[in-house]
Amino acid sequence: MRKAEITPAIEKILESIGIEIPTITDLPKDPKSHKSAAIIGTAGHVDHGKSTLAEALTGKFPSTHSEEILRGITIFLGYTHLDIYLCCRGNEKPVALTSNANKKCPPGAGRHHVRCYSVLDQPGHEILLSTMLAGASIIDYGLIVIAANEPCPMPQTREHTAALEAMGIKKIIAVQNKIELVDEKRLLESYQEIVEFFDKETSLGVPVIIPASAALRINVDLILAAILEHFTPMKSDTSGPTIMYVARSFDANRPGTSLDKLIGGVIGGALKSGELKVGDEIEIRPGIVTEEGEVIPLISEVASIRNDAGEFLEAAQPHMLIGVATNLDPALAKSDRLVGNIAGRPADLPDIVDKIIVKDIHMFERIVGARVEMKNYPLRKNEEIVISVGTTTVPGIVDSAQDDTAEIALRHPIAMPKGERVALLREIEREYRLVGYGRLYY
């Protein structure tokens, strides 16, 4: 990773995040605890380098499942953790930025920890849009990766950007990746394409755009600088209801583990509000839905909590990725069976419903992510659609639609807080495409 001498730009960043030059050396070499300032989610077209960038930033390749490794694409949501450091010589000005991917500072420079982030790596393939939307519901900021060796925008560049807009993500950084594969002329053409895409096709405006090579670790320090400057720490409100969105669930026991050493099922995700502590009684809602349609909420105790850096926590707050061990039968959590649920103190959770009202609906003018240009149209009575709200994705039938409001009967019950954003998908060319979004009401 390039470690350039200190520049006025980095001094400006230090000023913007409230660190004065004389106080830098008061920062610890390593954090006492890895408390994330916010959750950053990757986004972008398949094979544009999202997972490679996550590894370049954090030192961990987030695609760990055997199927992902075999196929060479991200299929599941991946967790990793980012620590950002300043390198400083004595009490003088800092000379470089680095991260937990490479903690080494230039000769004679000391390391000073500045900030932690959780990083959620999301799949880019078009058939995995629902997984991407589930991830977008729990992130705070977006890191959109766009390959310089392909035209911009590619279909899922459009779709993922629209998904971030639909989920209310307003602050993003664009990484113009794979610059090592193109010449200077194409690099400038690609840069202009990215500018025009954000300016003309999105409501986000033109973000910071950083040319980089995740594979060769070129300009990774500039991405770290942009993250510090633009992805400011989120304020965690622990006074509200305790509600966790479940984005992963699994059985952490190895095959052949003896009964006395078995641990309960694990749920992963993030708190949307409140605080979760070890020993709390929680309900997972709606829970398990049987083949006969019976809804069975699950009650458990929080056995342990880990953050994405692997540390055990006594309590978790919003804006960090966490794994929560329960005392449930691990078979109930196996293979993401509990994804789409919410978890929290029973009195804090919303009702279980199978009919919803979506208000403030905004329908896109055209089908986002389709291979050919297609006009969109309003929701229609009796139309079969798919809704994505929080980390759950559910088919439904439009009972009525008028102006910016629709009533939808769901095929499976959900439990989600009122006011949550709802993404609307309809089947286009045998794939479900994002066509609009609104707000959840009952």
Alpha-helical segments (H) within 137-172: 155-166
Q: Can you give 110-132 as a three-state secondary structure string?
A: EEEEEEEEEEEECCCCHHHHHHH
pLDDT at 351: 96
- pLDDT interval class at 11 (50, 70, 90): low
| CATH for 8-230 (1.10.3720.10, 1.10.1760.20, 3.40.190.10, 3.40.50.300) | 3.40.50.300
In whole numbers, what is the pLDDT of the chain averaged over residues?
89
Q: What 3-state class would DSSP assign to 284? A: strand
pLDDT at 92: 63
Tell me which of 41-45, 214-218, 260-264, 405-409 is least confident: 260-264
Check whether 109 has a pLDDT greater than 80. yes
Strand 266-273 and strand 276-277: the pairing is unpaired
Could you state, in order of their start, the residue ranges of all structural domains in the chain?
Answer: 8-230, 243-348, 353-441
Tell me which of 55-59, 76-80, 347-351 is least confident: 76-80
DSSP annotation of 336 reads G
Closest by CA position to 350, among listed 278, 413, 437: 413
Check whether 145 has a pLDDT greater than 80. yes
Check whether 1 has a pLDDT greater than 80. no
Tell me which of 96-110, 112-126, 145-159, 247-261 is least confident: 112-126
Tokens of 391: 């980390």
Task: State the architecture of 243-348 in CATH terms.
Answer: Beta Barrel (2.40)
Q: What 3-state class would DSSP assign to 22? A: helix
Mean pLDDT of 216-231: 94
pLDDT at 388: 94
Domain 353-441 bears CATH identifier 3.40.50.1390: no
pLDDT at 434: 92
CA 325 to chain centre: 21
- pLDDT interval class at 261 (50, 70, 90): confident
Strand partners, 273: 243
Asked if the domains at 8-230 and 243-348 fall in one CATH topology, the answer is no
| 388-413 per-residue burial string, b: 16 or more CB within 10 A, e: under 16 | bbbbbbbebebeebeebbbbbebeeb
Q: Can you give 61-103 as a three-state secondary structure string?
A: CCCCCHHHHHHCCCCCCEEEEEEEEEEECCCCCEEEEEECCEC
Are 306 and 289 in contact by the 8 Å Cβ rule? The answer is: no
User: In this prediction, what percent of the chain has a pLDDT beyond 70?
Assistant: 89
Mean pLDDT of 92-106: 87
**Burial of 108 by CB count in 10 Å (0-12 exposed, 13-18 middle, 19+ buried)?**
exposed
Q: What 3-state class would DSSP assign to 179? A: helix
The count of other CB atoms within 10 Å of the CB of residue 250 is: 19
Check whether 185 has a pLDDT greater than 90. yes
